[in-house]
């Protein structure tokens, strides 16, 4: 499989998709057209999402075809040269993908070697489940099951900070609850500005910040770009 799983689309103060675009271009080298899944959009239209992504991808010479125009979305996935799933609300994304039968269709394509790019919610849905998303469940999907292209869970936009005066749980505390209930599962806290690339059986962390690792029975710890991540596979 060929996966590029990005924590966030946009760093603070930067234009949309600016920081990951060179990596996306490198990853999709030779690809002319990408099927885009915009279903994580909630407060703006799928067509607006398509426009935003198409404008940016045009800079690296790649056309975007949004799946929301398709009369047969699963067939569009089957015929895709590459697949891109954007961020937004993970529950809204999951519900629509399940309704259209996209998750098994995407998994078959990924196993056949079709490149996949996702950011935020688009990275979440590559995991076994969406249970480590940060999003509010504004709609109810059929289940929490996701594509399952990787065996571990991703928490995108991972934050260490606990704002002064805030008495609620930190991100780490919530992930510790997850691994208590799901002791066999690894979780990675993928900080902003970072991404995971999986290709030819090799998983690597790309970006300026370390990634936090969680597993029941193991004290959470940090890994850095260049470290061996084979234990997650």
Q: Are strands 187-190 and 211-215 parallel, antiparallel or unpaired?
A: antiparallel
**Cα torsion through 188, 124, 140, 159, rounded to 10:** 50
pTM of the model: 0.96
Candidates 154, 44, 146; CA nearest to 94 is: 146
pLDDT of residue 48: 98
Distance CA 178, CA 216 (A): 9
Q: How confident is the model at residue 167 (pLDDT cuts 50, 70, 90)?
A: low
Query: pLDDT tens digits, residue range 84-117?
Result: 999 999 999 999 999 999 999 999 999 999 999 9
CATH top-level class of 2-232: alpha beta
CB contact at 8 A, 33 and 54: no
Contact (Cβ atoms closer than 8 angstroms) between residue 22 and residue 197? no
Instruction: Average the pLDDT over 139-146 and give the result.
Output: 98
Residue 68: partners with Cβ closer than 8 Å, 6 or more residues away: 38, 39, 46, 47, 50
Say how far apart CA 178 and CA 145 lie, in whole Å.
Answer: 15
Q: Which residues are catalytic?
A: 120, 135, 157
Among 9-13, 44-48, 157-161, 215-219, the range scoring the smallest mean pLDDT is 157-161
């Amino acid at each position: 499989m060929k996966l590029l799983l990005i924590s966030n689309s946009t760093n603070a103060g930067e234009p949309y998709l600016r920081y990951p675009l060179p990596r996306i271009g490198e990853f999709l080298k030779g690809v002319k057209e990408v099927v885009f899944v915009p279903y994580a959009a909630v407060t703006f239209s799928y067509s607006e999402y398509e426009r935003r992504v198409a404008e940016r991808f045009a800079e690296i010479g790649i056309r975007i075809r949004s799946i929301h125009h398709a009369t047969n979305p699963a067939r569009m996935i089957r015929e895709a040269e590459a697949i891109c799933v954007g961020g937004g609300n993970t529950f809204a994304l999951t519900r629509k993908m399940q309704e259209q039968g996209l998750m098994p269709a995407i998994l078959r394509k990924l196993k056949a070697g079709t490149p996949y790019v996702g950011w935020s919610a688009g990275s979440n849905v590559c995991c076994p489940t969406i249970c480590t998303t940060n999003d509010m469940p504004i709609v109810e999907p059929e289940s929490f099951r996701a594509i399952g292209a990787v065996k571990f869970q991703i928490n995108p936009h991972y934050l260490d900070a606990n704002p002064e005066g805030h008495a609620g749980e930190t991100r780490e505390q919530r992930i510790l609850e997850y691994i208590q209930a799901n002791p066999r599962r690894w979780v990675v806290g993928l900080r902003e500005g970072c991404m995971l690339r999986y290709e030819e059986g090799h998983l690597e962390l790309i970006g300026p910040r370390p990634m936090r690792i969680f597993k029941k029975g193991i004290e959470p710890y940090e890994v850095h770009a260049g470290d061996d991540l084979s234990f997650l596979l």
